[in-house]
Amino acid sequence: MWILRINMTDRSYALEEVPEKYQKLGGRGLTSTIISDEVDPMCHPLGPNNKLVFAPGIVTGTPAPTSARVSAGGKSPLTGGIKESNAGTGWAPAIAKLGLKAIIVEGKPEEAGKYWMAHITWDEDKPGVTFSPADDYVGKSLYETFPQVYEKFGKKVHVAGVGTAGEFGYGNAGIAYNDMKQKPSRYSGRGGLGSVMGSKGLKFIVVDPAGGPGMDYANEDLFKQGAKKLREALLEHAITKPKGGLNTYGTAILINILNEAGGLPTNNFRDGRFEGAAKIAGEAIFETNKKRMGKEIYNHGCSPGCIIQCSNTFYNEEGEEIVSCVEYESDWALGADCGIDDLDAIAKMVYLCNDYGLDTIETGVALAVAMDSGVIPFGDADGAIDLIHKMGQGEPLGRILGGGPAMVGEAYGNPRVPAVKRQGMPAYEPRAVKGIGVTYATSTMGADHTAGYTIAPEILSVGGSSDPLEMEEAKADLSQAFQKTTAFLDSTGHCLFIAFAILDIASGFEGMVEEVNGVLGTEWTGDEAVALGGEILKLERAFNEAAGLTSADDRLPEFMLHEQLPPHNVVNDIPDKVMDKVYETL
Q: What is the pLDDT of residues 528-574, one digit of tens each?
A: 999 999 999 999 999 999 999 999 999 999 999 999 999 999 999 99
Going by the DSSP 8-state scheme, the letter that residue 297 receives in this structure is -
Q: Is the dihedral of CA 363, 365, 371, 377 positive or negative?
A: positive
Strand partners, 15: 4
In this model, does residue 485 exceed pLDDT 90? yes
Q: Is residue 228 part of a domain?
A: no
List helix spans (H) across 470-567: 474-492, 499-504, 506-520, 526-546, 559-562
Q: Is there a single domain that holds both residue 418 and residue 271?
A: yes
- State the amino acid at position 515 in one-letter form: E
- The whole-number pLDDT of residue 58 equals 98
Rounded Cα distance between 502 and 230, Å, is 8
Rounded Cα distance between 559 and 313, Å, is 37
CATH code for position 367: 1.10.569.10
Q: Is there a single domain that holds both residue 183 and residue 268?
A: no
198 touches 47 (CB < 8 A): no
Q: Is there a single domain that holds both residue 193 and residue 286?
A: no
- State the amino acid at position 519 in one-letter form: V
Q: Is there a single domain that holds both residue 255 and residue 156?
A: no
Instruction: Please tell me the total count of domains within the chain.
Output: 2
Q: Please give the average per-residue pLDDT across 85-101, as a whole number.
A: 98
Omega cis (within 30) before 495 = no
- State the amino acid at position 565 in one-letter form: L
- The whole-number pLDDT of residue 205 equals 98
pTM above 0.95, yes or no: yes
8 touches 202 (CB < 8 A): yes
Strand partners, 186: 177
In this model, does residue 87 exceed pLDDT 90? yes
DSSP code string of 504-516: H-HHHHHHHHHHH
Q: Which of 360, 395, 423 is the last residue of a domain?
A: 423
Q: Is residue 328 part of a domain?
A: yes
In this model, does residue 343 exceed pLDDT 90? yes
Rounded Cα distance between 139 and 554, Å, is 37
In the sheet with 12-17, reading across from the earlier edge strand, the strands are 12-17, 2-7, 100-106, 52-56, 69-75, 82-88
Q: Is residue 496 part of a domain?
A: no
Q: Which of 179, 207, 235 is the last residue of a domain?
A: 207
- The whole-number pLDDT of residue 90 equals 98
- The whole-number pLDDT of residue 111 equals 87
Q: Average pLDDT over the chain, rounded to whole?
A: 98
**CB contact burial 536-550 (16+ within 10 A = b; e otherwise):** bbebbbebbbebebe
Q: Please give the average per-residue pLDDT across 246-257, as a whole number.
A: 98
Residue 117, CA atoms < 13 Å, CB-side half-sphere: 24
Q: Is there a single domain that holds both residue 178 and residue 273?
A: no
Which of 112-116, 289-293, 319-323 shows the lowest mean pLDDT across its residues? 112-116
Strand partners, 85: 72
Q: Is there a single domain that holds both residue 160 and residue 24?
A: yes
Task: Tell the burial category of 500 from Cβ atoms under 10 Å away from its Cβ (0-12, 13-18, 19+).
Answer: buried
Rounded Cα distance between 260 and 227, Å, is 36
Going by the DSSP 8-state scheme, the letter that residue 238 receives in this structure is T
Q: Is residue 68 part of a domain?
A: yes
Q: Is residue 94 part of a domain?
A: yes
Q: Is residue 40 part of a domain?
A: yes
Task: Tell the burial category of 407 from Cβ atoms under 10 Å away from its Cβ (0-12, 13-18, 19+).
Answer: buried
Which one has a higher pLDDT value, 124 or 27? 27
Q: Please give the average per-residue pLDDT across 433-454, as a whole number.
A: 98
In this model, does residue 524 exceed pLDDT 90? yes
Q: Please give the average per-residue pLDDT across 432-453, as a whole number.
A: 98
- State the amino acid at position 232 in one-letter form: E
Q: Is residue 551 part of a domain?
A: no
List helix spans (H) across 179-336: 193-199, 220-236, 245-249, 254-261, 277-280, 282-293, 328-333
Q: What is the pLDDT of residues 141-172, one digit of tens each?
A: 999 999 999 999 999 999 999 999 999 999 99
Q: Is there a single domain that holds both residue 198 and residue 267?
A: no
In this model, does residue 440 exceed pLDDT 90? yes
CATH code for position 38: 3.60.9.10
Instruction: Identify the band that residue 505 occupies on the pLDDT scale cut at 50, 70 and 90.
Output: very high
In this model, does residue 113 exceed pLDDT 90? no
Residue 124 to residues 76, 213, 541, Cα–Cα distance (Å)? 37, 11, 42
In this model, does residue 89 exceed pLDDT 90? yes
Q: Is there a single domain that holds both residue 189 and residue 335?
A: no
173 touches 195 (CB < 8 A): yes
Q: Is there a single domain that holds both residue 182 and residue 262?
A: no
Q: Which of 207, 236, 260 is the last residue of a domain?
A: 207
- The whole-number pLDDT of residue 390 equals 98
Q: Is there a single domain that holds both residue 8 and residue 142?
A: yes
Range of the domain at 51: 2-207
Q: Is there a single domain that holds both residue 135 and residue 194?
A: yes
In this model, does residue 281 exceed pLDDT 90? yes
58 touches 38 (CB < 8 A): no
Q: Is residue 356 part of a domain?
A: yes
Q: Is there a single domain that holds both residue 179 and residue 118?
A: yes
Q: Please give the average per-residue pLDDT across 382-408, as a whole number.
A: 98
Q: What is the pLDDT of residues 308-318, one digit of tens each?
A: 999 999 999 99
